[in-house]
Amino acid sequence: MLNKFCKKPLYEVTGKLAAVATGRVPADLVIKNAKLVNVCTAEIQEGIDVAVSEGRIALVGDAKHCIGENTKVIDASGQYLAPGFLDGHIHVESAMVGVGEYSRAVVPHGTTGIFMDPHEICNVCGKDGVKAMIEDAKRTPLKAISNAPSCVPAVPGFEDTGSMIDYNDIREMMTWDGIMGLGEMMNYPGVLNGDSNVHAEIAETLKSDNVVTGHYSVPETGCGLNAYIASGGRCCHESTRAEDVLEKMRHGMYAQMRYGSAWHDLPVVIKAVLDNKIDDRYC
């Protein structure tokens, strides 16, 4: 997906970043003398500078040559510098606030980006509610990347909701700035049983080269899980057993391990990794 959440797209600023890194143009910001938590190599590097230009990192290392008259300099001696946390699955409105107030609460604690699925507001207000959430996010420093809600209503024919979403709506929303994929496909029976609208929603997402986010909540790791993954589901946050996590990872699905106010799954599901000594790139 094209990253539209930085100040400027990379293709507009490659020359500027190279000029800053080589010292021909001063950086906007330099953070000096930090203990860098390097998540690329699992190291903590001492005495590292970071030079920033156009909202992007231009240099990591010694940035003395990147400092100009108007460069903002922050001395981080004795402090750790780490990438911001990206929350891989969140329903902002479940906290009974908008994105602006949610940002006010989480950004100071290190969350710099979220992948939100605004299906609650969509159930009430339809696509206009999703648009409102995306617009609200634009006034914050939080990179709020949204999914297009897939299951509105969550249980067709049973719920009395304010709106209904079908594959035509998904096709439209996939063209919006701020949308990166399909919200969690909770209707896994529809996936497994070939529901035409469910598979059309998935198809519209895949046509747009976006991500189908998953919700496979049953303790079954055989043909059903295979059918769900084969249909495009890339991730799942619903595992409550270690064996569920293990099989999802073995099949190339990202297993998102939950621990929060409502679900305390992590101590159990982390055993999928710890007890089997497997590569953790899919968890």
**3-state SS assignment for residue 169:** helix
CA distance 101 to 117: 17
Radius of gyration in angstroms for the set of CA atoms belonging to the chain, rounded to a whole number: 21
pTM above the 0.85 mark? yes
Alpha helices in the chain (DSSP H): 10-21, 99-106, 119-125, 127-137, 167-173, 188-192, 196-207, 223-230, 242-250, 266-269, 271-274
- Chain CA centroid to CA 226, Å: 24
CA distance 283 to 281: 6
Q: What angle do CA 199, 236, 249 make, to 5 degrees?
A: 110
| Blockwise average pLDDT, block size 10, the chain, 283 residues | 72 96 98 97 97 96 97 97 94 93 95 95 95 93 95 86 94 94 96 97 97 96 97 97 97 94 92 94 94
Tokens of 78: 């004795």
209 in the Ramachandran plot: left (φ > 0), alpha (ψ -120 to 50) or beta?
A: left
The candidate with the shortest Cα–Cα distance to 183, out of 121, 98, 239, 124, is 121
Q: What pLDDT does residue 84 have?
A: 94
Farthest CA pair distance, the chain: 65
**3-state SS assignment for residue 206:** helix
Domains of the chain: 10-81 (2.30.40.10), 85-238 (3.20.20.140)
**3-state SS assignment for residue 185:** strand
Tokens of 263: 């679900």
- The DSSP string of 101-136 is HHHHHHGGGTEEEEEE--HHHHHHHTHHHHHHHHHH
Count of CB atoms within 10 A of residue 95's CB?
A: 13
Burial track 16-34 (b if 16+ CB lie within 10 A, e otherwise): bbebbbebebbbbbbbbeb
